[in-house]
Amino acid sequence: MEKSSSAISNLDRIEIILCDTQDGANIGSVCRAMKTMGLTHLTLVTDRIYDEDRIRTLALHAYDLYENRREFTSLAEAVSDSILSVAATRRVGKGRKTSRMNPEELASHIGNLGAGKVSVVFGCESNGLSDDQVALCSTVVTIPTSDAFPSLNLSQAVQIICYSLFQHLRPYAGETMVVPSSRIDIAVSSCVSDLTEMGYFKNDIETEHTRLFLTSVLERAGLSEGEVQKVEKIFSKTRSIALHKN
């Protein structure tokens, strides 16, 4: 079935981010996997220098994705303008996010978000994404695999997720502009400051855990500027009432 122009526009806001990819050939394979599914925005988070001939050999006619790539040395900077950043990982454990979606659920979630860039983040071939990298993302997508042999090649993982996005993405739910993660950071800092003034936290660890929790929830919610301001107002008004009573 031919995809509508609105579906294509929805795909156009998807960005694939590769963190510290070790082999340029894998970057080329990722370019090919992306382009076959209508995704064209590639970002690299790395300070490596790659053999561009290896990239070109595996990318074939998708080499233009590499030529037009964005490049950063930090993931935080790469996702700062995203309304939703998604860590692709199957690892679980203390300090990693407990909420996760499969690729189909992710596609459905993105389809219901307002306009704005969505980043799907992949780690290096040997170790995947670190705890710190996962913490920088809004949520997690996990590809179901066999327990007997769960590991996927980097380009295979990208292909599966890109396929799900291509097959299932719908036009935007509306024209509401969703704020980027940099705006969420400002709101969370304001809310945490209000809670601190009220004496809500017992120690710095509790403060940081609450900051991470609020960031994760607000980013996944896909809020507009007006909605973010309402959240900030709830916290600031609660602080004013609490301090006035004391």
- 14 vs 161: CA distance, rounded Å: 11
Local structure of residue 38 (DSSP, 8 states)? T
* Per-residue model confidence (pLDDT) at position 45: 98
pTM above 0.85, yes or no: no
Nearest CA to 102 among 121, 89, 111?
Answer: 89
How many alpha carbons lie under 13 Å from residue 148 in its C-beta half-sphere?
Answer: 0
Do the beta carbons of residue 182 and residue 117 sit within 8 Å? Answer: no
pLDDT for residue 7? 54
Tell me the per-residue pLDDT of 23-60, one tens digit each, with 9 for 90 and over. 999 999 999 999 999 999 999 999 999 999 999 999 99
Please calculate the CA angle 175-178-180 and round it to the nearest 5 degrees: 145
**Tens digit of each residue's pLDDT (9 = 90 or more) over 114-171:** 889 999 999 999 999 999 999 999 999 999 999 899 889 999 999 999 999 998 885 5
- Note the helical H segments in 21-153: 24-36, 52-59, 63-67, 75-78, 103-111, 131-135
Task: Note the pLDDT tens digit of each residue in 56-100.
Answer: 999 999 999 999 999 999 999 999 999 999 999 988 766 667 778
Span 203-220, average pLDDT: 94
Looking at residue 94, its pLDDT comes to 63
* Segment 35-39 long-range contacts (CB within 8 Å, at least 24 positions apart): 35/61, 35/62, 35/65, 36/62, 36/159, 36/162, 37/11, 37/159, 37/162, 37/163, 37/165, 37/166, 38/3, 38/8, 38/11, 38/166, 39/11, 39/14, 39/162, 39/165, 39/166
The model's confidence at residue 182, banded by pLDDT at 50, 70 and 90, is very high
Q: Does the structure show a pLDDT above 50 at 4? A: no
Residue 174, amino acid:
G
Q: Can you give the C-alpha Rg of the chain in angstroms?
A: 19
* Stretch (H or E) spanning 72: strand 70-72
Q: What is the mean pLDDT of residues 188-205?
A: 95
Q: What pLDDT was estimated at residue 165?
A: 94
pLDDT, position 3: 47
Q: How far is CA 43 from CA 39, 79, 162, 174, in A?
A: 12, 10, 15, 27
**Higher confidence at residue 52 or residue 3?**
52
Q: What is the pLDDT of residue 195?
A: 96
What's the confidence (pLDDT) of residue 93? 67
Averaged over 209-226, what is the pLDDT? 92
